[in-house]
């Protein structure tokens, strides 16, 4: 399971333990896997799936940094410098 920057480990949901739909294409399995990794690695934020002509063409991830958590991490010495702020 992918974890970045101290993201909490999220337990598998009941439906994730089930076998994947055998009707999925290899491409569909690939983007579903990417979406799962992106969601699991976020603490706060948004994962968007962009579709064009019924095909997933892009996956966007926006990560939010909560100020109260950023200050706590900075005090613990585990937050890199916030450049550009």
Print the domain residue range for 65. 14-76
Domains identified in the chain, total number: 1
Contacts of residue 24, defined as CB under 8 A and 6 or more positions apart, other chains included, come to: 32
- Which residues have a Cβ under 8 Å from the Cβ of 61 and sit 6 or more positions away? 38, 42, 45, 46, 47, 48
Contact 45, 57 (CB under 8 A): no
Say if 65 falls within a structural domain.
Answer: yes
Q: What is the pLDDT of residue 49?
A: 95
CA dihedral for 25, 27, 29, 31, sign (positive or negative)? negative
Residue 85 in any domain: the answer is: no
pTM > 0.75: no
Residue 81 lies in a domain: no
pLDDT digits (tens, 9 = 90+) for 6-61: 555 555 555 555 466 788 899 999 999 999 999 999 988 999 999 999 999 999 99
Q: Hey, what are 42's tokens?
A: 């976020």
């Amino acid at each position: 399971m992918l974890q970045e920057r101290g993201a909490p480990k999220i337990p598998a949901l009941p439906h994730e333990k089930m076998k994947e739909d055998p009707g999925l294409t290899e491409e569909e399995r690939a983007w579903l896997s990417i979406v799962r990794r992106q969601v699991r690695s976020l603490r706060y934020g948004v994962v968007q799936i962009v579709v064009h002509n019924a095909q997933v063409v892009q996956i966007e991830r926006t990560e939010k940094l909560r100020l109260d958590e950023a200050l706590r991490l900075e005090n613990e010495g585990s937050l890199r410098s916030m450049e550009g702020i």
